[in-house]
């Protein structure tokens, strides 16, 4: 629960900052910039999966959570000191709840799509390590599989963003969603060995 609250307070708030500084549409690099921004979570995934695995073995579960909290607080304070918005220039209108937006069919479709996408993302992101252990592999090997997801995020998100600048964000979202679904059916469900788990991740 607290992880979800933290993501809502930090992730959703900072996603709106980067697009203010880049041009969208043909010739723009807004999607690439947002992909590059989102790729930062991949670095965090590598640090947490590999670094905290050693701490988990040598210390306790409580100490690994404390270390994670210290890293998060430190990096968020640094980000707050460095972030700069263009709200004074673009003067956005913020509303906590806007009935006109919620009545829009496109907005409703977007919300439904985001809900299903996040369900899939959370299941994959937080269960791939456990899935690897269920195949009979060690916790260290499971953490490597989870780390490979983070590596994929580092390279994948900016790449998808760059393609989105070329063919459009909606088109690339449709293609990426179908591709991920295909890999889930073709690789994750029939996966029975460590190599397939790493390639899928």
CA distances from 64 to 47, 52, 53, 58, 133 (A): 12, 6, 8, 10, 20
pLDDT of residue 16: 78
* pLDDT score, position 90: 76
How many C-beta atoms lie closer than 10 Å to residue 38's C-beta? Answer: 19
Mean pLDDT for 144-151 is 84
Compute the distance between CA of residue 114 and CA of residue 91 in angstroms, rounded to an integer.
Answer: 27
- Sign of dihedral through CA atoms 12, 80, 31, 119? negative
**Residue 56, pLDDT above cutoff 80:** no
CA distances from 116 to 105, 119, 177, 181 (A): 17, 5, 11, 12
Work out the pLDDT band at 91, boundaries 50, 70, 90: confident
The single residue listed with the structure tokens 């073995």 is 57
pTM: 0.74
Q: Assess whether pLDDT exceeds 80 at residue 25.
A: no
pLDDT exceeds cutoff 80 at 97: no
Q: Are the beta carbons of 194 and 141 closer than 8 angstroms?
A: yes
Q: What is the average per-residue pLDDT within 177-187? A: 85
Q: How far apart are CA 146 and CA 133, in angstroms?
A: 11
- pLDDT value of residue 130: 85
Flag whether pLDDT at 57 surpasses 80.
Answer: no
Q: What is the mean pLDDT of residues 124-148?
A: 83
Residue 52 pLDDT class (50, 70, 90 cuts)? confident
Q: Cα–Cα distance between 90 and 25 in angstroms, integer? A: 18
């Amino acid at each position: 629960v607290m992880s979800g609250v933290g993501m809502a307070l930090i992730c959703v708030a900072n996603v709106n900052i980067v697009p203010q500084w880049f041009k969208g549409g043909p010739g723009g690099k807004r999607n690439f910039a947002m992909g590059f921004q989102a790729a930062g979570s991949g670095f965090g995934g590598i640090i947490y999966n590999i670094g905290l695995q050693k701490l988990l073995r040598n210390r306790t579960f409580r100490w690994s959570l404390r270390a994670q909290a210290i890293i998060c607080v430190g990096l968020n304070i640094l980000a707050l000191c460095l972030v700069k918005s263009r709200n004074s220039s673009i003067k956005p209108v913020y509303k906590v709840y806007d009935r006109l937006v919620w009545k829009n069919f496109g907005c409703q479709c977007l919300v439904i799509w985001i809900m299903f996408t996040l369900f899939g993302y959370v299941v994959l992101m937080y269960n791939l390590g456990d899935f690897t252990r269920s195949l009979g592999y060690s916790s260290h090997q499971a953490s490597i599989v989870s780390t490979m997801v983070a590596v994929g995020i580092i390279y994948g998100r900016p790449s998808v963003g760059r393609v989105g600048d070329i063919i459009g964000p909606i088109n690339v979202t449709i293609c990426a969603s179908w591709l991920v679904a295909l890999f889930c059916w073709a690789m994750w469900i029939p996966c029975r060995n460590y190599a397939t788990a790493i390639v899928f991740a």
